[in-house]
Amino acid sequence: MNDVDAMQQLIDEAAIRNLIARMAHLADAGDLETEYLGLFTDDATWERPGFPAVKGHAEILAAAQERRRTKMQGPGTNTRHINTTLAVQVDGSDEATAQSYWLFMGKTDTSAPVVTGCGRYVDTFWRTDDGWKMSSRQILNT
């Protein structure tokens, strides 16, 4: 790999890491309709055990709004998404993958927050004219 390729790989990995972090921040508190959806490709898929799989912006938005409506997450719920142990694979093409562990925290308004869930994300990304976007997220409880 030459220096230009190595530098581009580092730039791509940083962009993807920031996208994953931004997604967690926006899920907890932020604009869903513009900012959150802007992180996904138009035909993105989102899968989680125990929930219907969703595809495309309309379904992803509806699912995120439902999680907020039911106080599962979002502003005022005192919950946080924590991403850790993130490994990004960029091979020089317009596709990349990442795997990371996640923790879902509750009671974040106290001095003793609690882990209410944990698992693994398996993500796929596409390079678009607007930068990297998530094309699929599989949420695993293992």
Q: Which residues of 6-30 are buried (b: 16+ CB within 10 A; e: fewer)?
A: eeebeebbebbbebbeebbebbbee
Identify the architecture of domain 3-140 in CATH.
Roll (3.10)
Q: Count other C-beta atoms under 10 Å from residue 65's C-beta.
A: 13
Q: Could you give the 3-state DSSP secondary structure of residue 23?
A: helix
- Asked whether 131 and 18 are in contact (CB, 8 A), the reply is no
The domain segmentation of the chain, as residue ranges, is 3-140
Higher pLDDT, residue 119 or 93: 119
pLDDT one-digit tens code per residue, 63-101: 999 999 999 999 999 999 999 999 999 988 899 999 999
